[in-house]
Each structure stands twice: as structure tokens, then as C-alpha cells.
Amino acid sequence: MDISEEIFIANLGTHIRQLREKKGLSQQALADDCDIKKTQIGRIERAEINTTVKTLVKIANALDIEPKELFDFPLK
């Protein structure tokens, strides 16, 4: 199956937003827990940037999940 990078990044951002909302966290709260800017969280969720693995690990830690769970989503 071929999937474009843009579609994958968009799906990843949507999934991160869903995980954040499930935990009841605002973008600001997640950003504070990750020690990154709120605008960066928003840009990741809107698929405006291709974030680093380092940032994804910070997000996973803040959401109290394994990093691999960030990639557990259906491709749309």
C-alpha cells in the first residue's frame, strides 16, 4: 500500500489531537508537559510540520503512552 507522507502526517496529527482530548488536556497543557510551545502542538495536530522523533517521544511521555501508540491509527 502506498501512502503519501502528507496523508500520514495528517492522520498522525489527528490522532495526537484525539489522544490529547481523551486525556482532557488542552494544547497548552500538553505543550507545558512537553516543554515545547503551544503553537508547535497546534502545527503538529494540523499537519503543518513534520515533527521530530524527539518531540513525538515527549508527546507520548506527556500522554502517558508508549511512543508506538502514537502510530496506532487507521489510514484515511
d(CA 64, CA 10): 22
At 5-45, the pLDDT tens digits run 999 999 999 999 999 999 999 999 999 999 999 999 999 99
d(CA 73, CA 33): 23
pLDDT band at 76 (very low <50, low <70, confident <90, very high): confident
pLDDT tops 80 at residue 1: no
Provide the residue type at 4 as one letter.
Answer: S
- Output the pLDDT for position 57: 98
At 40-61, the pLDDT tens digits run 999 999 999 999 999 999 999 9
